[in-house]
């Protein structure tokens, strides 16, 4: 036999591991259930975050103190603000500048199914925060002149002088611009009036980027605009996007609901599994109490086992979520729309959900284990 010191000591972690390993099938199945729950939570969050980012990107373009758009529009791109309203906003007391922008998307190629196009009058490029970095600005009524964001130009290998086909029309790239913001810099820019014509939206824009005069109160100005235009909403913070993008609101509500359901299902499954093992292990727990294990130690063991199962589930669930999101990203009708960003937060959330599931699910079973009277427990078969 091996000599002294070659045997491992029995640590709490190893005990939990041995307990779980001795019930492999149940541990595995319960972990898979947790994994599915974690997968649902993580995937929903990745999808919602991605859509939220694209909505936010539109709203954050244009060097503005706040944005004005149609109240309760199904999504931000279908917001309609009339030129008359833009003029009204610009004349509101305290407003420094109000720039109306028409924003839409077109299909460039398979990799860019929703390429952003921003319609701005040449005179309003500066107040909108546009800097020309190459070439020149388009003419106000030039029907075949556009500019490209500098990142978009790099991405699709175009530069000043090249042409770009949008649908049947061929445009000439006359300049490259920077908005100092990713979604703006990966977009294209059209003169407003020709774009309104080609999109069949004469006299309307999507949103108005408002800058407030120095010294004026942003909230006061917002209030005045809202009072004067009952069908418009002002948006300043990410949390206010829902006012002008109802679909995003619905999606977020659905995400919260589904997350709660996924957590509850995970908790119920783990709790069921822990209760089953409590009944099977009465005698084992009785023995531990008889050996002088405290209630607290026994409760910790049961919670530790549930958390152990859940953490295995979380690892599995993150793997499944990445696979599922990847297939949504590349293999479905969402191709090109969905741009998930994996971050520490994604994995942290999976881990926290799993630990939460484990702890909550084992509270009742572990307390019952702690309350066992050793004499009674030992008599159980």
Partner 1 sequence: MQEPILQAVAVRKAFGPDVVALDRVDLTVVRGEWLAVSGTSGAGKSTLLQLFAALDHPTSGRILYRGQDLASMGDLDHYRRRVVGVVFQLHHLLPHLSVRDNIEIAMMGRHLSRRDRVARVSELVAAVGLEAQQIRRPPELSGGERQRAAIARALANSPEVLLADEPTGSLDPENVTRLLGLLETLNRESRTTIVMVTHDRDVAERAGRLIHIDAGRIVEVEGAAS
Binding site residues, partner 1, CB under 8 A: 1, 4-5, 7-12, 15, 18-19, 21-22, 283-284, 286-295, 297, 373-375, 378
Residue 34 or 298 having the CB closest to partner 1: 298
Q: What is the C-alpha end-to-end distance of the chain, expressed in Å?
A: 36
Q: How far is the CB of 300 from partner 1 (least distance, A)?
A: 11
> 344: exposed, middle or buried (C-beta count within 10 Å: 0-12, 13-18, 19+)?
exposed
C-beta separation of 233 from 69 below 8 A: yes
Spatial separation of the C-alpha atoms in residues 85 and 225, rounded to whole Å:
10
DSSP 8-state secondary structure symbol assigned to residue 295: H
Residue 293 or 337 having the CB closest to partner 1: 293
Q: How far is the CB of 278 from partner 1 (least distance, A)?
A: 15
Strand partners, 103: 118
Q: How far is the CB of 34 from partner 1 (least distance, A)?
A: 22
Q: Which two tokens mark 62?
A: 């244009």
Residue 20 or 195 having the CB closest to partner 1: 20
Q: Which two tokens mark 221?
A: 């100005």
C-beta separation of 139 from 122 below 8 A: yes
Q: How far is the CB of 292 from partner 1 (least distance, A)?
A: 2
Strand partners, 304: none
Q: How far is the CB of 275 from partner 1 (least distance, A)?
A: 19
Residue 8 or 200 having the CB closest to partner 1: 8
> 275: exposed, middle or buried (C-beta count within 10 Å: 0-12, 13-18, 19+)?
middle
One DSSP character per residue, 319-336 reads: HHHHHHHHHHHHHSTTTT
Q: How far is the CB of 50 from partner 1 (least distance, A)?
A: 45
Q: Which two tokens mark 126?
A: 């500066």
Q: How far is the CB of 28 from partner 1 (least distance, A)?
A: 16
Q: How far is the CB of 10 from partner 1 (least distance, A)?
A: 4
Spatial separation of the C-alpha atoms in residues 47 and 293, rounded to whole Å:
47
| Cβ-Cβ contacts under 8 Å for 347 (sequence gap 6 or more) | 318
Residue 133 or 378 having the CB closest to partner 1: 378
Spatial separation of the C-alpha atoms in residues 319 and 336, rounded to whole Å:
22
Residue 220 or 294 having the CB closest to partner 1: 294
Residue 5 or 202 having the CB closest to partner 1: 5
C-beta separation of 317 from 259 below 8 A: no
Find the farthest-apart pair of alpha carbons in the chain and give their distance in angstroms, rounded.
Answer: 93
Residue 76 or 372 having the CB closest to partner 1: 372
Q: How far is the CB of 23 from partner 1 (least distance, A)?
A: 8
Q: How far is the CB of 36 from partner 1 (least distance, A)?
A: 27
Q: Which two tokens mark 165?
A: 């086909």
C-beta separation of 65 from 202 below 8 A: no
Residue 19 or 185 having the CB closest to partner 1: 19
Give φ, ψ of 291 to 5 degrees. Answer: -80, 0
Residue 16 or 321 having the CB closest to partner 1: 16
DSSP 8-state secondary structure symbol assigned to residue 10: -
């Amino acid at each position: 036999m091996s000599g002294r010191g070659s045997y491992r000591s029995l640590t709490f972690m190893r005990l939990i591991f041995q307990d779980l390993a001795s019930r492999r099938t149940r541990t595995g199945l319960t972990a898979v259930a947790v994994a599915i729950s974690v997968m649902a939570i993580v995937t929903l969050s990745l999808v919602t975050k991605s859509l939220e980012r694209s909505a936010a990107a539109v709203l954050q373009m244009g060097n503005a103190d706040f944005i004005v758009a149609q109240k309760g529009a199904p999504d931000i791109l279908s917001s309609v603000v009339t030129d008359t309203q833009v003029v009204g906003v610009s004349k509101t007391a305290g407003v420094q500048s109000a720039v109306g922008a028409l924003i839409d998307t077109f299909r460039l190629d398979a990799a860019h199914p929703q390429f952003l196009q921003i319609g701005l009058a040449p005179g309003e490029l500066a107040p909108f925060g546009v800097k020309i970095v190459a070439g020149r600005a388009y003419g106000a009524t030039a029907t075949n002149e556009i500019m490209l964001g500098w990142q978009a130009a790099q991405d699709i290998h175009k530069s000043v002088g090249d042409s770009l086909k949008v649908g049947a029309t061929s445009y000439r790239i006359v300049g490259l611009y920077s908005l100092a913001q990713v979604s703006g810099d990966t977009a294209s820019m059209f003169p407003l009036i020709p774009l309104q014509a080609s999109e069949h939206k004469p006299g309307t824009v999507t949103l108005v980027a408002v800058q407030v005069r120095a010294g004026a109160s942003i909230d006061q100005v917002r209030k005045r605009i809202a009072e004067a235009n009952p069908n418009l909403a002002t948006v300043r913070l990410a949390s206010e996007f829902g006012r002008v993008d109802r679909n995003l609101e619905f999606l977020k509500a659905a995400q919260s609901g589904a997350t709660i359901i996924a957590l509850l299902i995970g908790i119920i499954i783990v709790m069921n599994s822990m209760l089953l093992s409590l009944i099977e292990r009465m005698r084992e727990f009785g023995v531990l109490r008889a050996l002088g294990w405290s209630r607290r130690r026994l409760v910790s063991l049961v919670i530790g086992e549930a958390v152990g199962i859940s953490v295995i589930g979380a690892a599995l669930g993150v793997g499944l979520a990445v696979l599922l999101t990847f297939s949504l990203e590349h293999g479905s009708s969402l191709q090109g729309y969905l741009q998930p960003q994996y971050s520490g937060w994604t994995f942290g959330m999976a881990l926290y959900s799993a630990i939460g599931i484990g702890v909550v699910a084992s509270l009742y079973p572990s307390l019952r284990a702690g309350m066992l009277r050793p004499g009674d427990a030992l008599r159980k078969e």
